Structure 1
Amino acid sequence: MNSETRTSTTDPSSPSKTGREIVVSELRYNPLTLVGVLLVTGIATVAIVGPLVTPYDPTAQNLANRLQSPSPIHPLGTDRLGRDVLTRLVYGARVSLGIALAVTTIRVVVGTGVGLLAGYVGGWVDELLMRLVDVQLAFPGLVLALVVAGILGPSLRNVMLALAVVGWATYARVVRATVLSVAEREYVEAAKLAGTPTSRIARRHLLPNVLGTVIVLATLNLGTVVLATAGLSFIGLGAQPPAPEWGTMIAGGRDYLRSAWWIVNAPGVAIVLTVLGFNLLGDGLRDVLDPRQRSQLEEI
């Protein structure tokens, strides 16, 4: 009896709890979620506030100060062109998070729309859309993004379009599977028989059931997009010098790994912390919003 009581009080998905109590319970139940919240909040704060308070220009060169080691004046040192690494890191956070949000938003809108349409309409529409999804998923995402970015040409805008094009299919597949399950429930059938418009059924009955899973996938995707953007910029397909972007910072400092280690390590650590934060936050949101989807999401 006591063990059952303890289980019910620590279960973050208990239906008797309010939204705030569920979140507080999850943070107590899984401290790693709190770490993710703190990391994401801290990086977002740096991206928003940092450029407003830094005294340096992220692109201004000062060869007299090149390759200076970390000091009170330059806490993370300077690069090969005398630019303050901390300032470029802060501006790079704004670029990386901005692209991650834009790409993920496009993926969510397109993928959710395709999944809702395929799952609810069915028939030849479902077959056609799912075959398109299968074709897209048949190619490794990063390889396909490389091809698209290479065709469009090197720029951050083209990288954003390339990553958006290759990432929507996962949302479509997950949303369709959920819609197929929900569409067979009695209240949806009753709404159809009552002549409720399709758009209203999708908005009131289908979309709320897929929202939790989509939010979790989107949160996990944010970290993936940050990593992919940095990788494409590192090989020259993304941000172009002198733009302050984490991938280009690593590329610019790879020839100075021994003599000026801070040039590469600073953006490298920033990427690791950002991806880690989004992954931990996504895991926590999965437990809060829909614990039953844990095994399904781990298979994707």
Structure 2
Amino acid sequence: MGEVRVRLDLSYDGRDFSGWAKQRERRTVQGELESAIRTVLRLPEPVELTVAGRTDAGVHARGQVAHVDLDERVWQEHGGKLLRRLAGRLPHDVRVWRVTRAPEGFDARFSAIWRRYAYRVGDHPGGVDPLLRGFVLWHDRPLDVDLMNEAAAKLLGEHDFAAYCKKREGATTIRTLQRLEWERAPEGLAVATVRADAFCHNMVRALVGSMLLVGDGHRPVDFPAEVLAGRVRHSAVNVVRPHGLTLEEVGYPADELLAARNLEARSKRSLPVVGGC
């Protein structure tokens, strides 16, 4: 009968996880989910999930997407009960909200056309609300959101973000930053919305670190763009702590474009050459 690709929409509190990707000795989101799916479906072999964004240790997700391939007979027998069964088996800090049969050509990672993150910062001199402390970074100096937005605008577009990424062998650091803006939330937090076609390791947290230096007056507005142009890590730019970061949403094209996007995303990117022979 073949296999069915199943899409899972989920969220998790990343505080007690060593990131998404499963590890032999540490607790991870992928490890918990794969174990729960295998248990509730009584499968003889392990399953393997593919995820839209492999979040780091301590990073949260509200709109994460993953897929798993299941035997058609298993899906027909148990698919309608899978959501409720997972609710009873998963730990309190990870929840699956939707389980659906994925359309033809869908891949949670390679079909995605953008990922949207939020980073939340509190700059109140008294600190962060204790009820929000697990999701908000405290910055001990007041932040000028207008200055940070001015700096952010200079980073938009397709660039080599090597200066803001932890280098991985064989991986490109070219990304298209589609949106980067700050706003004051009603509770007074400074919230960055960051959207790109994809992100490399530590990219959002390093970008936020550079803009906080602008917001509190330590660096001029052009500083983050100058770091980007240098294409090497800058000693002044801190990778801010993970707990302020949340994966909010993943975007996909129309169903008929999924397969084409899947192929496009697997191609290694390079920046266009200007001039030359």
Q: Does the alignment reach a TM-score above 0.5?
A: no
| Bigger fraction of residues in strand | 2
TM-score, with structure 1 as normaliser? 0.23
Query: Radius of gyration: which is bigger?
Result: 1
